[in-house]
Structure 1
């Protein structure tokens, strides 16, 4: 497969000679109507009907007991970790193959990541690698799981559903139960993805979703905490809205909280986007199938959803036969106005996380050297 043939294929899909981005937001529904309604109401900030409606829409779609809207995905993950009991000085297991926001949320809490390898099946956290690291370096005591060398608690694990492909959740939950560790899902990329028929982000007590401009639906900036119970949801809502005690006019806050409230203006956009989510998912599946067929008889491996899952195919991904082939493909596609991107640099290569504990990362390093993302915008398929 030559880069020029991929450029021609992508341009044929999107029927344009213009620049083709990796994933562009699309507004072809009621977005203008709802945003205009919000402006006319003057309730453009954190109070307004669209915030409640958007939370209810996400609850109905994902099956979570309570969804709490936040200003962005990182805030959602931060709140989820806080609610899961993560404290300053704790360790939290996650993957080095992730977007930096996963680790930034930990850093802002004063917690520290432990990096373990990913699975070639999901590109997300590998249950076997996690269990092996814990067996070698940790032990369960009366207070929970601790890191033997430092005696610091290992409080939680944060798998990230890479590009919308669900991780092996049954196996991860079994490891969490064995080692007495909380599960918090980074579902930032996986709205519309299901593991054995159940939506991602709903397996632990908390999950975090993102609605950034490049996600499958967007609120411009925004996130959502998915909570297992109504009680946890009420507490999360309280802590993310400055911990203000309701009163007709008095300002009283009963603890130190976060100002993570999503503005009504953003929620209006989200409500309109939710109305077309199923359409976007269908289009992205068609696109993924076309990519899969294109690469079928080549040395390039298109990343397909795991057998146990239904993925949203947020970003289509390709494993190249060599690092050199990856670099050539990246250069020639981008030089031709078709955006492709390498995966993120592994987190332990970044200066702020270079000294944290980690297990063997062979699979993560292989994927880092060989993977690229392909244009994945769904709506252009209508042209």
Structure 2
């Protein structure tokens, strides 16, 4: 049915199921078909548009109910959420924080905001996230305990304070193994759950396994507040501290402006929270559409030699935020040919992020063997994943 030229085969499949006669097909678009206009208009009508308002409180409550997190603090974006998570978790300047090299740059940036050093670690082929087994072997080699009871990198002398797994494209990492490592090496587990709202590991929502976690609601996420993020934690004192730090450390008073430390103006505006409340009402529908979309991609690409669709790992339920194709053999030239052909035909596709160890500001960071990261960079391609695209698959049925 298709030619032997893989880039052309991919485009042929897209053309057979995704209509782009009038416009290009985006990688991921927000969907506004619920109460978005109603809730935002209420903010405009009442004047409650900034960082105080009923929708901010409601959004936090609704997120807590959906994720099962005991405490939620809404903030301006996912990077701010991760920054505060690290501060609340006790990350200090000159600490080393273990993060995957295969991640969006915000993960490394948030570590740097704390004055800490990103220590780059490898990922697993099945989850695309931190490889707990490989990390365990690595820590056996480099981690030494000191008199303060904490573990240090024997090569740099710096404290190892936290590990930040990122649930790549919404696929949960192998969390049980990571939790065991954190207990053994006294590391704080900070989940970068920016992409995984609606994803579950062994029946429990991502972002609720670690000591603290960050979510993102950027315009391209599964739900959006325009910009926006949230902090999840079971620790009530940490939640109180996070809220204090994100509201400029202002001491409550009827009229005086008293701030007890240097802090951040990171609170989510009510206008954005109103959008988020409306989006969250539709999240079950979005998740259903995305799973159907992923299943249809798997069906359409089955039997095509040399390529397959990335699927959720064992023991997990993924939100399939971004669907992805994987070449059977890493080949960056073939990857780029597919990217060129699909984008030139009006179907937006993207490679993974450039790994952190290849970025100028992080290439000198301490790092373990990153061979799987480099294989994934050379073989994985994100493909159109908007939830409404599922309708294209069924347009003839």
2:246–2:264 CA contact under 8 A, matched in 1: yes
2:100–2:122 CA contact under 8 A, matched in 1: yes
| Structure 1 residue 13, shift from structure 2 partner | 3.4
CA distance in 2, matches of 1:189, 1:142: 38
1:101-139: CA deviation from partner (whole Å, max 9, x where unpaired): 000101111111111110111000111221122111121
Work out the number of aligned pairs and report it: 383
Which of 10, 13, 24 is 2:14 aligned to? Answer: 10
Name the residue aligned to 2:322: 315
Matches within 5 A, 1:1-383: 2-17=6-21, 18-143=23-148, 144-298=150-304, 299-320=306-327, 321=329, 322-382=331-391
Task: Calculate the TM-score normalised by the size of structure 2.
Answer: 0.94
1:186-226: CA deviation from partner (whole Å, max 9, x where unpaired): 00000000000111011111100000000000000000000
CA distance in 1, matches of 2:136, 2:299: 36
User: Secondary structure, in 3 states, of the residue corresponding to 1:110?
Assistant: coil
Structure 1 unaligned segments of length 5 or more: list them. Answer: none
| Structure 1 residue 327, shift from structure 2 partner | 1.7
1:116–1:133 CA contact under 8 A, matched in 2: no
2:142–2:155 CA contact under 8 A, matched in 1: yes
| Structure 1 residue 150, shift from structure 2 partner | 2.1
User: Secondary structure, in 3 states, of the residue corresponding to 2:361?
Assistant: helix
User: Secondary structure, in 3 states, of the residue corresponding to 1:276?
Assistant: helix
Structure 2 unaligned segments of length 5 or more: list them. Answer: 393-397
| Structure 1 residue 356, shift from structure 2 partner | 0.8
1:242–1:258 CA contact under 8 A, matched in 2: yes
User: Secondary structure, in 3 states, of the residue corresponding to 1:271?
Assistant: helix
1:211-261: CA deviation from partner (whole Å, max 9, x where unpaired): 000000000000000011223212211111111111111111122221111
CA distance in 2, matches of 1:142, 1:38: 55
2:293–2:389 CA contact under 8 A, matched in 1: no
CA distance in 1, matches of 2:51, 2:78: 16
Deviates more, 1:234-243 or 1:99-108: 234-243
- Superposition CA RMSD, Å: 1.2
| Structure 1 residue 8, shift from structure 2 partner | 3.9
Task: Calculate the TM-score normalised by the size of structure 1.
Answer: 0.97
CA distance in 2, matches of 1:366, 1:16: 31
| Structure 1 residue 12, shift from structure 2 partner | 4.2
Inter-CA distance 11–31: structure 2 relative to 1 (3 Å threshold): farther
1:14–1:381 CA contact under 8 A, matched in 2: no
CA distance in 2, matches of 1:78, 1:13: 41
Inter-CA distance 30–8: structure 2 relative to 1 (3 Å threshold): farther
